[in-house]
Structure 1
Amino acid sequence: MDLNRVQMFAQVVEQGSFTKAAKALGITKATVSRKIAELEADAGVQLLFRTTRALKLTEAGANYYHRVHGILADLQNAEDQLSASQETIKGHLKIICPIELGQLYFGRVLAKFLTAYPHITIEAELTNRKVDVITEGIDILFQITEKPNETLQTYILLNTPKVLMASPEYLSQNGTPQIPEDLNQHQCIRLSTPYVDNSWSLFNGEKWLTVEPKSRLETNNITLVREAAIEGLGIATVPMVIGSEAIKNGSLVAVLQDYPMKQSVVTMSMPQRVYLPRKYRVFTEFLYQHLFEKWQDLIIEVPDYIQRPS
């Protein structure tokens, strides 16, 4: 049995096309198409209906996929178990991280980790786009979000409260809002991201109030939002993990602090696995060591195999 073409068939089914399957596997579309044709020829049965618009499983193809899907999952678990027992820790990690979090924190952490584990390589993408962990073969996904992904193994690392901020110059020229409704008289700098509710909702002690102040700048990058606020463009909603230094040095001032906004959290997610590959384990252990050093009392969820410092 050629397991490569079985895996290709499963990828075609899961991705919905030869092109996407080829991209996920890192090979050419022609190779995938040829291997599936060979699989059908050797089996003497058609597995897929091919049209110009879509692929559809035949009845035989559906039965075959149902069986091989479980077998491939067992093989992956066996490989993970083998990986967990190897003495020399090696492998490749594909990591996705929000741009701002990566710029502020992960550069040095990843460099130190790779120095400690010279047989591991990392491909780190800093992005705020929507990510499909399984389809794209992502090992670890970091997010700033309000809704942790329940389909993955997810750990909530930190709360990161959102706070309304503006420069002292902007407030001196335009006044300081005293109640949420006052925001309608101000310019705002709006963040637009796929993971977070970007509406301006504040709690007045009894109920949530949503305001929609006018905005001349909308972006998907929170660092740009922060810098535009520092320049006096308007009032911005900034997570404290991104805006705390600006608050400390006085370039931004928090406003309406008696009216809290909905919190976001920093999460770490990875595919659900029966056995945790050793490269995953050493990376998460190393990461948590640095998290404990920086935010020991603020860490929310910790994997079972990591012990909190006393």
Structure 2
Amino acid sequence: MSGKHCPVNETIQWNDWEAFCCVVEQGTFTAAAEQLDCPKSRVSAAVARLETAIGAKLLERTTRRMRLTDAGSAVYRDVAPLFARLREIRQETLAREERVQGVLRIATPYEFGAQQLGGIICRTLAAHPALDVSVEITQGLVDPIRDGFDVAFVIVDADLPDSGTVARRIYHVERGLFAAPALAASLPPLMRPEDLANLPTLTTPGDTVWEFQRDDECFTVPIRPRMQTFNAELRLQGALAGLGIAKLSVNYCEAEIAQGRLVRVLPEFPLPPLRAFALLPDRRLQPRKVRAFMEAIESMLEPELGQDSGEGASPAF
């Protein structure tokens, strides 16, 4: 806009410019107030504030009519196209956000991504040709805001720490202890959890105790890990080879149980369930690509998953 119409003044507000342009376009202060969804007095105050800041009368008002002054005409001519373009940009942005497009960045543990998300990701890509997906294998807690992910999946057996992210639980996983039949046959006939301290175990890195639940009480026992890995398939293979007692999700090894290749150990002492969460940067104004992906997860899991309890599907952990 020409400098002679707008001397620099820190009291000028963008809303005042918009109010003035809206008054000109609508023809009256009343119509402008309706368009802007605000009181007429606020529109009148905005125009008066703008005139004071500029140091020129913009509108001549009588009880019957209103007209632009020369200064008002010049200001409107310079400013109105800018607000028109802003409105166009807003509409263009809204239109883009209604299309599922761009790159969806996902963080996930390996087995969870391969066994639980693989099919969902492939179906989402097939349904939305303008969408691309980038999947990064991670372990442990991930901060989607700090690390730049649209969705980060985490697997935990404890409460999530407080953070600025939105956590949506999508799985509730039953776990158990399993061993090869030969190893199971060598265990004490009246085995108790504390007997694990003298037995080889197959677990995840950092595990030094296993937690059990019984009669609404939780207790822990020390363990002696012979293999520690986040890879559930390695723990399964170790159990099948008779190398130790493995902690695994029940559904993950149900085929081996049915074939008699694995036996459940201490079934009367349940382990705390494992929970899978989807972490999202924000609950509000989620990009369409994120909403489409989360909707795909919910729709595909609904036959298996109790939406209220979060129980049903089991990842390989």
Q: Please indicate the TM-score interval, normalised by the length of the shorter structure.
A: 0.5 to 0.7
Deviations 1:3-55 (A, max 9, x none): xxxxxxxxxxxxxxxxxxxxxxxxxxxxxxxxxxxxxxxxxxxxxxxxxxxxx
- 1:258 partner amino acid: E
Same amino acid, percent of matched pairs: 26
Distance in 2 (alpha carbons) for counterparts of 1:97 and 1:282: 18
Instruction: Give the corresponding residue for 1:43.
Output: none
8 Å contact from structure 1 (residues 202, 260) kept in 2: yes
Query: What's the CA shift for 1:215?
Result: 2.3
Deviations 1:127-171 (A, max 9, x none): 325423212101101121122354211111121122111111221
Instruction: Give the corresponding residue for 1:132.
Output: 143
3-state SS in 2 of match to 1:228: helix
Distance in 2 (alpha carbons) for counterparts of 1:84 and 1:252: 54
Instruction: Give the corresponding residue for 1:147.
Output: 159
Instruction: Give the corresponding residue for 2:198.
Output: 185
Instruction: Give the corresponding residue for 1:296.
Output: 305
Counterparts of 1:238-253 in structure 2, within 5 Å, are 238-253=248-263
Instruction: Give the corresponding residue for 1:284.
Output: 294
Query: What's the CA shift for 1:111?
Result: 1.0
Counterparts of 1:230-241 in structure 2, within 5 Å, are 230-241=240-251
- 1:211 partner amino acid: V
Query: What's the CA shift for 1:275?
Result: 0.9
Distance in 2 (alpha carbons) for counterparts of 1:83 and 1:91: 14
Deviations 1:250-292 (A, max 9, x none): 3222111111122221111110253121111111111111111
Query: What's the CA shift for 1:181?
Result: 1.8
Consecutive unaligned residues in structure 2, runs of 5 or more: 1-88, 311-317
Instruction: Give the corresponding residue for 1:73.
Output: none
Q: Give 1 or 2 for the bigger CA radius of gyration.
A: 2
Distance in 1 (alpha carbons) for counterparts of 2:135 and 2:284: 25
1:96 to 89, 107, 110: 107
Consecutive unaligned residues in structure 1, runs of 5 or more: 1-77, 302-310
TM-score by length of 1: 0.63
Instruction: Give the corresponding residue for 1:208.
Output: 218
2:272 to 224, 245, 262: 262
8 Å contact from structure 2 (residues 155, 275) kept in 1: yes
Question: How many residues were matched structurally?
Answer: 219
Distance in 2 (alpha carbons) for counterparts of 1:107 and 1:166: 29
8 Å contact from structure 2 (residues 177, 246) kept in 1: yes
3-state SS in 2 of match to 1:217: strand
Residues 198, 248 of structure 1: alpha-carbon distance in 2 compared, 3 angstrom cutoff = farther
Instruction: Give the corresponding residue for 2:229.
Output: 219
After superposition, the CA RMSD in angstroms is 2.7
3-state SS in 2 of match to 1:242: helix
1:117 aligns with 2:117: no
Greater shift, 166-175 or 112-121, is seen at 166-175
TM-score by length of 2: 0.62
1:199 to 183, 199, 209: 209
1:172 to 162, 182, 185: 185
Instruction: Give the corresponding residue for 1:106.
Output: 117
8 Å contact from structure 1 (residues 177, 255) kept in 2: no
